[in-house]
Structures are given as C-alpha cells and as structure tokens.
C-alpha cells in the first residue's frame, strides 16, 4: 500500500467543491493509497477555540477528539479523489471510535496517517471506514475509525454487513439538558473546517434529503466527552453510534451511567426521547 506524504493540510472548502463536481459515475473498490503528514504542530489558539465550542476545559493536553480535526482533512482528500468509489456529498457519519493511548501535549509534533478500509453493505446503502493514526516520537498515541454511510450506494459483491450500532445499558434519567441553537453547525464548521453542506443551513441540508440542518456528530461526541472529562483516565476508548439526526435547533438531554470502570451515555431528544447518540467509554 503506497503512502503519499503531504506538505500541508488540504483546503477543505476546495475538497468539498471538487467532490461535488466529480460525484457522478463513481464506483469500484476502495483505493489502497494512504495519505500522511509529518511533524504537525497544533496552534494553541485554535485548540482553545475548539475547546470553547465543544465545552472542554483548555489545558496542556489536546481534547481527545481534537486529533480527529487534524486527520479529517486527509480523510477528505481521500474521499474527494475521483478514485474513491462513493460520492462525498451527502455522506453521513454513523459511527466513530477513538482510542486515546495517552494524553497528547500541546507542544508535541505529530505524524498523521489515514486510509480507507471495510467497504460494507448496509440496509440503506453502503458504508466505508476511514481510519487514522497519530504518532509522536515514533510511537502511536491516538487512533480513530470513522464509519460513513452512502445512502443508495452498492457495496461490492461479497462485502460484509456494516456494523454501525453501539449498544448501551439501561441509563438513569438525564441530568443535563442542552439547548442547541440553529447556528451550532456553522460555529463548529468555523473551528473544525468541516463545511459539509448538511450542517450549515436548512437550504443546503434539504438538497441532501434533510428537513433542516443537522449537528455535526463529532461535535456532539466532543460535548459528551467534555461532560465527563475530569473523570476520564489517561488512556481510554470511546465508541459512538450516531443514530437519529440532531436537527437544528433542538433541545436534548444527556444521560450517563458508570459502567466497567468507564461510562455509558446517550444524547436524546428532550421531547420525543429518541436517541441521537449512544456511547461507551472504557479505560484501556
């Protein structure tokens, strides 16, 4: 599998534009190419802005979800390339797993690498996993796996069934209520660079089959981790299933329970009680 090393981060807006122009007529197998960047340093001001939006405290270590922002442009570059079999516009993030092997300091230089794998069948289309690894000083410190659904797409013959469900145990009544404004998608897009049109406005979301703009799944996941941040170990895994779209604006609740030395959690619609997100957080 060949690895292409980039000198800098790809331009996210340009990638979305290219993907929109080349979305028709895609197909075939997943590309074997990996993309990488070496010696990446974070900007403390950008981390602080991200922490504010996601409700993390700002300290000497990166929020556990922040490395996703560093690797996501590389994933976008893979998915927007004409060789990628699924059209990027309209792809929906349905599952995310993060393993934080140790806290990552603000001043560390990081090596990033991403690739695609596991083209799978789903009842609504096809899914693919975008994988990421982050290393510091030659040792892996973080890894992530994001599963994306392409509605109406067809996986190759013989592809496995998609595994997108994250089950949690019975949870007590919610103790936290969040009122999420209609500009939450635009605010997160500003700090993350994720300018997928389904998150930005009702008009652009409707073009992809949503009745209103929906919140970024990674923002909701980050808010859940931020709520228990001071009770997490240095090394842990978080596995999240994104269920019903969280339409903007909305009022949601967060329910949590201590399980197996970690947490089970769910974000639910405050009125209907339907799950937007279910998560398990466990020590490594």
> What domains can be seen in the chain, in order of their start residue?
3-283 (3.10.129.10)
Omega cis (within 30) before 249:
yes
Give φ, ψ of 66 to 5 degrees: -65, -40
pLDDT, residue 153, reads 85
pLDDT, residue 24, reads 64
pLDDT, residue 250, reads 96
What are the 10-residue block averages of pLDDT along the chain, 284 residues in total? 87 69 68 94 96 95 97 92 81 94 97 96 94 98 96 87 94 94 96 89 88 95 96 96 95 96 96 95 97
Q: Is the dihedral of CA 194, 195, 197, 201 positive or negative?
A: positive
Cα separation, 243 vs 247, in Å, equals: 12
DSSP state string for 231-245: G--SSEEEEEEE-S-
- Token pair 């990996």 is at which residue? 34
156 DSSP assignment: P
Closest by Cα among 185, 227, 218 to 204: 185
Is the pTM higher than 0.85? The answer reads: yes
Query: How do strand 250-259 and strand 176-180 relate by DSSP bridges?
Result: antiparallel
- Token pair 């960047």 is at which residue? 37
In 99-216, which residue ranges form alpha helices assigned H by DSSP? 184-192, 202-206
Cα separation, 270 vs 9, in Å, equals: 38
248: left (phi over 0), alpha (psi -120 to 50) or beta: beta
The percent of the chain in helix, strand and coil, each rounded to the nearest 5, is: 25, 35, 40
H/E run at residue 218: helix 217-227
Radius of gyration for the alpha carbons in the chain, expressed in angstroms and rounded: 18
- Token pair 């799944």 is at which residue? 217
pLDDT, residue 4, reads 93
Angle between helix axes 44-54 and 184-192 (nearest 10 degrees) is 160
pLDDT, residue 114, reads 97
Find out whether 30 and 117 touch, Cβ atoms under 8 Å: yes
Find out whether 115 and 143 touch, Cβ atoms under 8 Å: no
Closest by Cα among 57, 45, 49, 50 to 227: 57
| CA end-to-end distance (rounded Å), the chain | 29
- Tell me how far the alpha carbon of residue 89 is from its chain's centroid: 16
Give φ, ψ of 71 to 5 degrees: -90, -20
pLDDT, residue 21, reads 60
């Amino acid at each position: 599998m060949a690895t292409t090393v980039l000198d800098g981060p790809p331009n996210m807006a340009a990638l979305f534009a290219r993907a929109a122009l080349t979305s028709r007529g895609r197909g075939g197998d997943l590309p074997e190419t990996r993309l990488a960047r070496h010696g990446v340093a974070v900007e403390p001001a950008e981390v602080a802005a991200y922490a504010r939006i996601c409700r993390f405290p700002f300290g000497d270590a990166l929020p556990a979800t922040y490395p996703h922002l560093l690797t996501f442009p590389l994933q976008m570059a893979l998915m927007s390339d004409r060789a990628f079999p699924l059209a990027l516009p309209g792809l929906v993030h349905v599952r995310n797993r993060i393993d934080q092997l140790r806290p990552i300091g603000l001043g560390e230089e990081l090596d990033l690498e991403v690739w695609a794998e596991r083209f799978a069948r789903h009842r609504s289309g096809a899914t693919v996993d975008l994988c990421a690894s982050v290393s510091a000083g030659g040792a892996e410190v973080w890894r992530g796996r994001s599963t994306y659904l392409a509605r109406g797409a067809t996986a190759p013959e013989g592809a496995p069934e998609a595994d997108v469900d994250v089950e949690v145990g019975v949870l007590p009544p919610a103790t936290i209520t969040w009122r999420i404004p209609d500009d939450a998608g635009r605010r997160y897009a500003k700090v993350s660079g994720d300018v997928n049109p389904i998150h930005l406005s009702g008009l652009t979301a409707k073009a992809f089959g949503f009745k209103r703009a929906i919140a970024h799944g990674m923002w909701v996941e980050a808010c859940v981790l931020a709520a228990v941040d001071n009770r997490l170990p240095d090394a842990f895994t978080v596995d999240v299933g994104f269920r019903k779209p969280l339409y903007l604006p909305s009022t949601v609740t967060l329910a949590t329970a201590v399980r197996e030395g970690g947490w089970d959690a769910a974000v639910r619609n405050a009125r209907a009680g339907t799950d937007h997100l279910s998560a398990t957080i466990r020590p490594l």
